[in-house]
Amino acid sequence: MTYPNVLVMGYLKKTGQLTPEWQMKLDEALNAGYQRLLTFEVRGGGFDWYGRAPAKTILTAYGILEFTDMAKVRDVDPAVVERAKRVLYARQERDGSWALDVPMHTWSSVGGGRLPLTAYVVWALREAGLRDAEVERGAAYVAAHAGEAADPYVQALVALALGRDAAALEKSAVREGALAHWTTSGDGLVGARGDTAAVEATALAALACGRQRSPRAPEALAWLSKKRGPAGDWGSTQATILAIKALMEDGGAAKKPEKPVHVRLRVNGKEILGAFRAIDGETFDLYQQAEIPVEEGENTVELEADGELSASFQVSGRYYLPWLLAPRPVAPPLSIEVAYDAEAIDLDGVLHATAVLTYRGRETFMVIADLGVPPGFEPDPAAFERLVEKGTVDKYSLTGRQITLYFGRVSQGQTLRVEYDLRPRFPVIAQSPASGAYEYYTPDNSGVSGPRRITVRERR
């Protein structure tokens, strides 16, 4: 959440809405986030997923972007950005480009990945205020190869790197009335696909179009507002960051009303009094929530404003469904099954668990498995240490109710098997939480394994 907090704090400062209370809360969150980000810097400079050398080119450019935005709202050690810059300059090719150092799937088909990567690096460096020879050589490479950008995602990166010419994006926009968005057949910055990659592409395009005063910019921001989930995010971390960045740079999708506007909420014909505060110069960009009473079957929700208003709204609900009644896809791209070797054990016994992940999609990166820990049990970390040593998992973390495993590159058709032990702490009849697996940057690709009932008996 560090980068979103950076963007929000920057927006509040820019609009004069940063109160002392929010200043204190955000300062505390950013201080903790800043220290954690430093742990991802590798020796010699640059950044990696886990802080292990060598640094990754795209993550190093991403780090420069994040620290540049962070420096607008708090002190940042300039040496961190300087070291990252030196890493990028050392990797620049003679023609001004940067080459992929990690598989990026469809990016590799665009000049070996040089055009999208170079555009991204140049954008990051220019956002940091750098205009030296290396940056200009990179920009010259992007300009010379801009015609190769057929995919809207790459077009957006090119437009941001060059700071001009959103004409290609004007042509590739998908317009739906007052909305516009961009699709992509490729991968996002860190491997997102499908709807998540489309959000990233649209956010990048909105940034580029907004800087060129294109009429597509407000249409794209409206589409992004519509795509926001009930929890206030856009699916993955990267999609959320880019969407917020686009919205915040524009000042938010909502515009100040000329005079206070009152919004009435009716549910099934009955007004919910006082559901919303009046929308004026102070509240026009606030996110307001109201709980609505619903009945079984169809419900009608109505909103009525007494004046001109630029706003978006969303109706969402949640409900409980017993596990046995929950629908499951027949063959999801990613599935997980967790099994225990017994349904009942003695207090001095050990519960042996096996998790099997099966991936059916094309090669991907960053698959995460969350394994539920039954109440009253604690996992033995030795098994996970061995998995890291063998390279089966990149990283793991343990909490009271969950084991989280991070897998790096996962190939199509690959099956990953993880065996581990759970030790009981006291007699109990418990039900483990469900276990799940998902692609971090394409979270719709996910699988789940149901809860398991376990009995721990007193020592015999």
pLDDT digit string, tens, across residues 146-166: 999 999 999 999 999 999 878
Give the pairing type, strands 344-346 and 453-457.
Answer: parallel
Kindly report which listed range (135-144, 215-224, 277-286, 341-350) carries the lowest average pLDDT score: 277-286
Fold that domain 330-457 belongs to in CATH: Immunoglobulin-like (2.60.40)
Contact 22, 367 (CB under 8 A): no
Is the preceding omega at residue 54 within 30 degrees of 0, hence cis?
A: yes
Residue 219 has pLDDT above 60, yes or no: yes
As to burial, measured by CB atoms within 10 angstroms (0-12 exposed, 13-18 middle, 19+ buried), residue 368 is middle
What does the pLDDT look like over 287-332, one tens digit per residue? 788 888 888 889 999 999 888 877 778 888 888 888 888 877 777 8
Percentage of residues in the chain having pLDDT higher than 70: 97
DSSP designation for 253: S
Residue 386 has pLDDT above 90, yes or no: yes
What does the pLDDT look like over 22-45, one tens digit per residue? 889 989 999 999 999 999 999 999
Mean of all residue pLDDT scores within the chain: 89
* pLDDT: which is higher, 66 or 312: 66
Contact 384, 420 (CB under 8 A): yes
pLDDT at 108: 67
Residue 105 has pLDDT above 70, yes or no: no
In this prediction, residues 249-256 reach a mean pLDDT of 64
pLDDT at 254: 57
In DSSP terms, which residues pair with 395 in a beta bridge?
Answer: 406
Q: Find all residues with CB under 8 Å of 161, minimum gap 6, and list them.
A: 118, 119, 120, 122, 123, 126, 138, 139, 142
| Cα separation, 232 vs 243, whole angstroms | 11
Token code pair at residue 144: 């010379």
pLDDT at 109: 64
Number of residues that this document lists for the chain: 460
The identity of residue 263, as a single letter, is V
- How would residue 366 be classed by pLDDT, with cut points 50, 70 and 90? confident
Strand order across the 415-424 sheet: 334-340, 351-359, 415-424, 377-379
pLDDT at 460: 63
Does the 2-249 domain belong in CATH 1.20.120.160?
A: no
Q: Find all residues with CB under 8 Å of 369, minimum gap 6, and list them.
A: 336, 355, 357, 404, 405, 407, 418, 435, 436, 437
- How would residue 121 be classed by pLDDT, with cut points 50, 70 and 90? very high
- How would residue 250 be classed by pLDDT, with cut points 50, 70 and 90? low
| Cα separation, 5 vs 15, whole angstroms | 15
| Cα separation, 140 vs 328, whole angstroms | 50
Strand order across the 263-267 sheet: 270-271, 263-267, 301-305
Contact 285, 252 (CB under 8 A): yes
pLDDT at 409: 83
Q: What burial letters (b/e) apply to 83-101, b meaning 16+ CB within 10 Å?
A: bbbebbbebbeeebbbebb
